[in-house]
Chain A
């Protein structure tokens, strides 16, 4: 079992729709969870972080965390073509301070 699993996609949604990106992780002790966005040919950049069960909203982005199910998701409302990128899920490990990244989900928002 991979430490962090994401659907590789590609996930294609029309402009204005909600994009839903999912991630499961194996380390039950993980406490902090991060979503990064990576445009093609660029470095990852932080979108959101979440630490508590439930939802956390930031503009058009909502992160959802369910530690019991070892599941974290990212919702993008009113998707824009500029949201087209690969989204990486990264739980922080429980034993030390490192993070393991998922392989990422490639999102395409079509005008």
Chain B
């Protein structure tokens, strides 16, 4: 079946502009994660959605960052008033998320490379 998809694959924007990044998780996956990865760095957790529960926003670096997940499926990560330090690859992942050991595996999308000039 189809994997996690993300769009756009690349986004170049000017400092101060808003951007929206989209993630389509695997069908039936209740858990969805957003990560940020700067060049040569590890994965930085941003936000986590699980079903209809309130999202875990503990990783969002500032109030310029927000995310929503509509209908328990597609998610959009919005960055307002982008700064140069926001330049990174933004990765989305999904999992079945039922809490059991076999359902925790995260499947990653190809990422969106964001460049803020």
The chain A residues found within 8 Å of chain B, CB to CB, are 31-32, 34, 43-46, 49, 51, 88, 90, 92, 96-104
Contact = CB atoms under 8 A, between A and B. Distances in A.
20 contacts: A32-B101, A32-B104, A34-B105, A44-B108, A46-B106, A49-B101, A49-B104, A51-B101, A88-B42, A92-B104, A97-B48, A97-B99, A97-B104, A98-B48, A99-B45, A99-B106, A101-B45, A102-B42, A103-B41, A103-B42
B25 interface: no
A98 B99 CA distance: 10
B109 A43 contact: yes
Contacts of A49: 101, 104-105
Contact of A31 (B31, B50, B101, B110): B101
A95 B52 CA distance: 17
Interface string B89-117: 00100010101010011111111000000
Contacts, number: 54
Contact of B50 (A43, A46, A96): A96
